[in-house]
Amino acid sequence: MIPLGTVNNPTKNTPYLTYGLMLVNILFFIWQLTLPDTTLNQTYSALAIVPCQFPANVGPNMLVSFLRGMFLHAGWAHLIGNLTFLWLFGTNVEDYFGRRTFLLLYFLGGVLAGLTQTVVYAYMCSPLVGIGASGAISAVLGAYLILYPGTKVRVGVLFFRFFLYQTTIPALVMLGLWFVIQVFSGVAALSAGTSGGVGFFAHIGGFVFGMIFAFMYTLFNRAPKAIVD
């Protein structure tokens, strides 16, 4: 199930911050393309966090490693997938929170998501490096679920890898199903003793944080107006 767009939740202001984050991620990836393939893994390990090094590397440098890792990606598919979700859902979340609060959600969510993945896999001494913006974007998705559960999301469903069937479902269903898949996939990977190269627990940690963040924020601020078809 691939999200293609939202159909009844236009933004009131231009989401410059969301576009800016997308641009920074693209620029980082272009920089990665200039590096020799033989040094990429060493670069990832030097700049991002490795669960096997936790908790020995707890300190200010670990926070910096989480932040740097949020802008590194393993390939074009990894980058495009993350930026698609950020573009589709980040614009409305930024529009509601404003730039400063949205930035806090994004970076704090990304750090806590990375910490969740790192702590879960530290006992296995996993050598896989935690890279990618998906933890931070998962926090945005969690906030979106709380703020705009009734928004209609246009999704494409693949059948037998060929036929793309388009339909429209509420964000509550789409994001709820996405979260359930992350939980089942994470538990399955943990049971098998591997992460499969995907930070499922970073997705889970970021999403839960985003939900809590948005819920707490709306306790003291006006919630967005309900979406009416």
Query: What is the pTM for the complete model shown?
Result: 0.91
Q: Is residue 169 part of a domain?
A: no
- Digitized pLDDT (tens) for each residue of the chain, 229 residues in all: 788 888 888 888 899 999 999 999 999 999 999 988 888 778 888 888 777 666 656 667 778 888 889 999 988 999 999 999 999 999 999 999 999 999 999 999 999 998 898 888 776 666 677 888 999 999 999 999 999 999 999 988 777 666 677 889 999 999 999 999 999 998 888 887 665 678 889 999 999 999 999 999 999 998 887 665 6
**The domain containing residue 108 runs over which residues?**
9-148+206-220
Written as one string, the DSSP assignment of 52-87 is GGTTTT-SHHHHHHHHHHTT--SSHHHHHHHHHHHH
CATH number at 31 reads: 1.20.1540.10
Q: Within a domain: residue 115? A: yes
In a domain, 198, yes or no: no
Domain contains 32: yes
CB contact set of 65 (below 8 Å; sequence gap of 6+): 47, 48, 49, 57
Domain assignment present for 187 = no
* Structural domain includes residue 163: no
Q: 53 in a domain, yes or no?
A: yes
With a CB cutoff of 8 Å and minimum separation 6, the contacts of 25 are 71, 73, 79, 82, 83, 133
Residues 90 and 15 sit within 8 Å (Cβ to Cβ): yes
Q: Is residue 17 part of a domain?
A: yes
The C-alpha angle 81, 51, 113, rounded to 5 degrees, equals 45
Q: How many domains does the chain have?
A: 1
